[in-house]
Amino acid sequence: MEPKERLIFALDVPDKMTALKYVNLLREEVGLFKVGLELFMAEGPVLLQELANIPGLGPSRFFLDLKLYDIPATVLGAILTVVHGLMLVTIHSDLGPRGLKQLVDNLGSGSAWKILAVTVLTSLSASDLEALGYVPEYARHPESLVVLKAKLAKAAGCQGVICSGREAKAVKEACGKDFLVVCPGIRPAWAGVQGDDQQRIVTPYEAIKNGADYIVVGRPIREYPDGPVAAARRVVKEIADALK
Ligand code: C5P
């Protein structure tokens, strides 16, 4: 994989026109585009087809991040409605071991796309986990909780997980190098984000050094004063440096 292929740009924008603007601007700079809740709610599943039909791109350049969380039958129905060759789709690891397995089994192996389980949102801190009722063993050490959930996801047949770059190394050690690790919560030292909600952050360099296969970057690229292309290139440079 080329360094830029490891960069996923988060299309967290309110409408299709804005999304298309970023796709055209960044299609040569990043590997994948992530459609999340905001854009999906605004435009619906039809947008995925439209994006996949952009000449020269195709469905494999898009990642659907809805973090689906419901009973397995409902999640299965939702995924089958929207997935048409998209490369990566997220579900929530809190579906539990049986739910995850049931879902993955029903989706069938050998599909071109990959199911990734969200472990612990990068916007949650140790104190948030404590407030949510996790026992101190896990609340005070989010990495242990992420590894626990990653192992469950792997056992169920998921192809990878979403976690912070802080936990990427431990997940790779526990689940093997072929188990995909995708990391949001990326904050380059040179890019500030106003009113940031992310907690367990790392730089692009650190995430890749720790073993992330892909990093997800949104606001640091969208809000960069010199423009998104310049920011994406700086991120890719960090990825390349970390891979050396
Ligand atoms: O703007 P920012 O770089 O914080 O964007 C991060 C993206 O990654 C958002 O689209 C968010 O939904 C997503 N994400 C996350 N934490 C997870 C999973 C996905 O921040 N655990």
State the distance from the centre of ligand 1 to the C-alpha of 15, rounded, in angstroms.
Answer: 18
* Sequence-ordered list of residues with C-beta below 8 angstroms from that of 126, at least 6 positions apart, any chain: 139, 140, 141, 142
> What is the structure's pLDDT at 148?
97
- pLDDT tens digits, 95-107: 999 999 998 888 8
Q: What residue ranges of the chain have pLDDT lower than 70?
A: 83-87, 108-112
The 8-class DSSP code of residue 186 comes to B
DSSP state string for 68-107: E-S-HHHHHHHHHHH-SS-SEEEEEGGGHHHHHHHHHHHH
Atom 11 of ligand 1, residue of closest alpha carbon? 184
**Which of the following is catalytic: 67, 114, 151, 237?**
67
- Contact between 231 and 191 under an 8 Å Cβ cutoff? The reply is yes
> What is the structure's pLDDT at 59?
83
Known catalytic membership, residue 67: yes
Residue 117: is it exposed, middle or buried by C-beta count within 10 angstroms (0-12/13-18/19+)?
buried
Mutate which of 35, 65, 214, 217 for ligand 1? The one with the most ligand atoms within 8 Å of its CB, which is 65
Widest distance between CA atoms in the chain = 51
State the distance from the centre of ligand 1 to the C-alpha of 140, rounded, in angstroms.
Answer: 22
Show the ligand 1 pocket: residues with CB < 6 angstroms. 10, 12, 36, 65, 118, 121-122, 162, 184-186, 198, 216-220
> What is the structure's pLDDT at 84?
63
Cα distances (angstroms) measured from residue 199 to each of 54, 120, 129: 35, 11, 12
> What is the structure's pLDDT at 150?
98
- What values do phi and psi take at 46, rounded to 5? -60, -30
